[in-house]
Structure 1
Amino acid sequence: MLHRFIQLATFWASIVFIYSCKPGVPDGVLSESKMEKVLYDYHLAQGMAMQHAPDSINYFTRYYQQAVYTKYDIDQATFDRSMEWYARHTDKLSDIYKRLAEESGNVDQTSPTFLAAGTQSASGDSLNIWNNSNYTLLSSKGKNRFLFSEKADTAFKANDRLIWKFKVDWIYHEGAKQAEALLAIEYDNDSIDVRTFDIYSSGTQTLVMNIGQQKVKRVSGFIYQNAPWTERPRLLHLYDFQLLRIRERTEEPKATDKPTNSVNTDSATSSRTTNEETPRQRLRDSLHRADTLRELRPHFR
């Protein structure tokens, strides 16, 4: 009897242990589905705040963020606590941002069809040659850099412009916000052209380089989050990447309809000038004639 009781107790203890070890979100942390909705509106709120002129206390940023908290019946402490937990579980947070990118249509832009299609403009044509992940999440307590490298092909030619564009969202309040981006072009002769710029604000970031005369071998770059280690992670969301090759359109000289005559007589020159008189010249001449007639009229009648 005692042996039977021990077996049952062991069985139920095992069941309790299995369910207690089942991965899940702890109390006080938003569920994955709700966190996804909150983050979607949170980033929309940041975008709306950026439409206003910046101020020293970030009034509009706090105003729109508070509107998101009110909509989902949470406070900033709950949001920060949830972000801290998801930052430690980067696989879950990465899945959330991947779904957000799919909803906004960003992931579709990395498809081969999109990359192969260029856009025409009046001054030239552009081609998006980005073929890497279209979003990433950097953290002061984890991965704090993003790297990419593109092997060059026939898409690059001398004097083309290269534009690297992406969007930035800082997902924390306290502490400095600083990151550094670098774009490098490596040529066949092993020379390297490098451009760097610092990132301090949210929104679209742009770096422009001109391709030299040598054949391009590779284009590479990185983004490094310059944030010290802290107990609470400082997250940097990077997304909507584009690497645009811009080629200026050269205009060919237009052929003249009429052959030029190297021998001109005075009579021919006078006749051509009269026949090809512009409207502005005709208006000027008519005003001059009118002034002359007024001067010839008697002053007293």
Structure 2
Amino acid sequence: MRCPMRKIELLAISLMALLLVACQSRPDYVIDEDTMTELLTDVHMAEGLIDVQERHNRKDNEYGQRVMAAVFMKHNVSKASYDTSLVWYSQHLNTLIRIYKHVNENLKANERHWIALAEASDDFGKSLAGDSVNLWRQPPYVVMDEARMTHFRTWVVPADSNFMVGDTIRWTLHIASLPEGEGLVASLALLSHDERKGNYDVHVGTSTALLMADTTLTLCCAGQSDKPFTHVNVALHLMRTSQLESRLLPCVVDSLKLIRIHPKKKE
């Protein structure tokens, strides 16, 4: 009898070991922990953005679908894969708790980032005295999500008594999200207004094209020493690809700053 009992004990131990391994092992079809952490972080941020949109504007289901589609495309996963993985992690609470610990840390870090960006949100274009001043007083981020082949955003800041002949204007921005294969052109120009003709002439201009995501750009224009400019013009031009799926995804630009720098005084 000992031999059969021994076999039963060994079989029971083997089955328990297999069950333990099965419970702990992550199937190949489940998104790995690191990717799931980053994905859940972006999903919760996207849900917050959609909620703000719905509270301030009419409910737009297409907008929410575009935002969520951008999140899944960013991480190269499908919604079905995300849903399946979320079900699996929900059945493994210790792993899910560990993931959400990192998700909460990411969300807190992002919150500090956006709070810092929102500090300059009053009286766009209002100039102040000082050798180096940030003229950008609008929210320091732009979401370009219209599903059009081309999309322009332009801002004009009038010069005032705090501007000086020979001032330098520096525009910096960070491209947080740009759909693959699409082009973004950023331009900066100093304009002179011709009161007789009633139009603007480009005083000094510079531009750059085909920017990539997760890059920081700085454009700089130095005014002429003998002729004042009357306006600062900055613009973003998003060039969509011909693929409809790409045109549904937003382009996000943040960390916008427009710095006016007075020329150094000659000693």
Determine the structure 1 residue equivalent to 2:45: 36
Hey, what does 2:262 align to over in structure 1? 247
Give the Cα–Cα distance (whole angstroms) in 2 for the partners of residues 79 and 244 of structure 1.
46
| Letter aligned with residue 35 of structure 1 | H
Deviation string, structure 1 residues 244-278 (Cα, Å, up to 9, x no partner):
111233253xxxxxxxxxxxxxxxxxxxxxxxxxx
| CA–CA separation in structure 2 for the residues paired with 1:100 and 1:208 | 30
Match of 1:187 in 2: 192
**Residue of structure 2 aligned with 1:210, choices 198, 218, 222:** 222
Q: How many residues align?
A: 170
Report the CA distance shift for 1:33/1:177 in structure 2 as closer, same or farther (over 3 A).
Answer: closer
Cα distance in 1 between the residues matched to 2:111 and 2:228: 39
* Structure 2: runs of 5+ lacking an equivalent: 1-38, 50-70, 84-109, 195-199
> Deviation of residue 214 (structure 1)?
2.1
Aligned residue type for 2:254: Y
Q: How large is the Cα RMSD of the aligned pairs?
A: 4.2
Distance (Å, rounded) in 2 between the aligned partners of 1:80 and 1:171: 23
Structure-to-structure mapping, 1:192-203, within 5 angstroms: 192-193=202-203, 194-201=205-212, 202-203=214-215
String of CA shifts for 1:167-212, please: whole Å, max 9, x gaps: 112254xx41321112221114443132211142222111010112
Picking from 103, 116, 128, the partner of 1:105 is: 116
Higher relative contact order (CA 8 A, sep 6+): 2
Which residue number in structure 2 is paired with residue 134 of structure 1? 140
Q: CA deviation at 1:127?
A: 0.8
CA–CA distance in 1 between the matches of 2:80 and 2:263?
48
Stretches of structure 1 that go unaligned for 5 or more consecutive residues are 1-29, 41-64, 70-74, 83-98, 120-124, 253-301
Distance 1:80 1:168, change over 3 A: farther
How many angstroms apart in 2 are the aligned matches of 1:180 and 1:79?
35
Do the aligned residues in 2 keep the contact of 1:186 with 1:219 (CA within 8 Å)?
Answer: yes
CA offsets per residue over residues 123-142 of structure 1, 9 Å max, x none?
A: xx311111333211113615
Cα-to-partner distance string for 1:125-162 (whole Å, 9 max, x where unaligned): 31111133321111361583221111111232122111
User: Retained in 1: the 8 A contact 2:120–2:139?
Assistant: no
SS in 2 for 1:105: helix
Q: Is the 8 A contact 1:136 1:238 kept in 2?
A: yes
Structure 1 206/199 Cα, relative in aligned 2: closer, same or farther at 3 Å?
farther
| Equivalent residue runs for 1:1-301 within 5 Å | 34-36=43-45, 76-78=77-79, 103-111=114-122, 125-139=131-145, 141-142=147-148, 144-172=151-179, 175-189=180-194, 190-193=200-203, 194-201=205-212, 202-212=214-224, 213-232=226-245, 233-252=248-267
Structure 2 vs 1, CA of residues 153 and 146 (structure 1 numbering), >3 Å: closer, same or farther? same
Q: 1:210 to 1:231 in 2, by over 3 A?
A: same
When residues 214 and 37 of structure 1 are mapped into structure 2, their CA distance, relative to the original with a 3 A threshold, is same
Q: CA separation of 1:141/1:101 partners in 2, compared to 1, >3 Å: closer, same or farther?
A: farther
Partner Cα separation in structure 1 for residue 155 and residue 82 of structure 2: 32
**Hey, what's the Cα distance between the residues in 2 that align with 1:134 and 1:169?**
12
Amino acid of the structure 1 residue aligned with 2:253: L
* 1:205 to 1:231, Cα distance in 2 relative to 1, 3 A: same
Deviations 1:202-245 (A, max 9, x none): 22111010112323221112101112243322321011211111
| Cα shift at 1:38 | 8.8
Distance in structure 2 (CA, Å) of the matches to 1:79 and 1:234: 19
TM-score w.r.t. length of structure 2: 0.51
Structure 1 contact 185–218 (Cα < 8 Å) conserved? yes
Normalising by structure 1, what TM-score?
0.46
